[in-house]
Amino acid sequence: MLGERLAQLRKERDLTQEQLAKIFNMSRSTYAQYEVDRRHPDYNTLKMIAEYFNVSTDYLLGRTDDPSPRKDVRDVFTPEVLAEHGVEYAEVSDYLKKNGITDREAVEMLKEIDDFRKRMIAKYVEKS
């Protein structure tokens, strides 16, 4: 999966393996082996590649089809969004801290809530 994603991202940007190898400070052969899944990058290299392409490492590894890097909870719980729902930003921030909920956990909870909402809407539409 990693190799397919790397090749796809490279081709979408009209880059060569040689160009990316230079950008990532490695040999073309090493990069080419990543694209055919003969070698796998170490964590730091994987992170560097993800940052370069502005995708998540989960996307590169095939754990998700959403290429977007994970958002920080502060990107999701903006004061403006919360105000639309009558909630103060400080209240949410304090609640998360008091309950030991990390930014990543909060974002995952929001995704689960949104998925549930979508399923309920689909179920309701089916009955109509």
pLDDT digits (tens, 9 = 90+) for 37-59: 999 999 889 888 988 888 888 88
- Closest alpha carbon to 61 in 3, 109, 124, 102: 3
Q: Which domain holds residue 78?
A: 73-127
Question: Average pLDDT, whole number, for the chain?
Answer: 80
Looking at the fold, whether 81 and 119 belong to one and the same domain comes out as yes
Lowest mean pLDDT among 27-41, 47-61, 109-123: 109-123
In this prediction, residue 73 carries a pLDDT of 55
Quote the CA–CA distance of 59 and 5 in Å, as a whole number: 8
Q: Is residue 120 a part of any domain in this protein? A: yes
Give the mean model confidence (pLDDT) for residues 14-34.
Answer: 92
Q: Is residue 8 a part of any domain in this protein? A: yes
pTM of the model: 0.55
pLDDT digits (tens, 9 = 90+) for 52-87: 888 888 889 888 777 776 555 555 666 676 777 677
Give percent above pLDDT 90 in the chain.
Answer: 28
Q: Is residue 68 a part of any domain in this protein? A: no
On the question of pLDDT at 128 being above 70, the answer is: no
Helical pair 28-35 and 2-12, crossing angle rounded to 10 deg: 120
Looking at the fold, whether 23 and 55 belong to one and the same domain comes out as yes
In this prediction, residue 12 carries a pLDDT of 92
Looking at the fold, whether 55 and 79 belong to one and the same domain comes out as no
Q: Which of 60, 89, 107 is the last residue of a domain?
A: 60
Count of domains observed in the chain:
2
Looking at the fold, whether 80 and 41 belong to one and the same domain comes out as no
Give the mean model confidence (pLDDT) for residues 88-115.
Answer: 76
In this prediction, residue 71 carries a pLDDT of 57
Looking at the fold, whether 80 and 31 belong to one and the same domain comes out as no
Looking at the fold, whether 19 and 48 belong to one and the same domain comes out as yes
Quote the CA–CA distance of 72 and 59 in Å, as a whole number: 17
Domain harbouring 38, CATH code: 1.10.260.40
For 61, the token pair is 């590894």
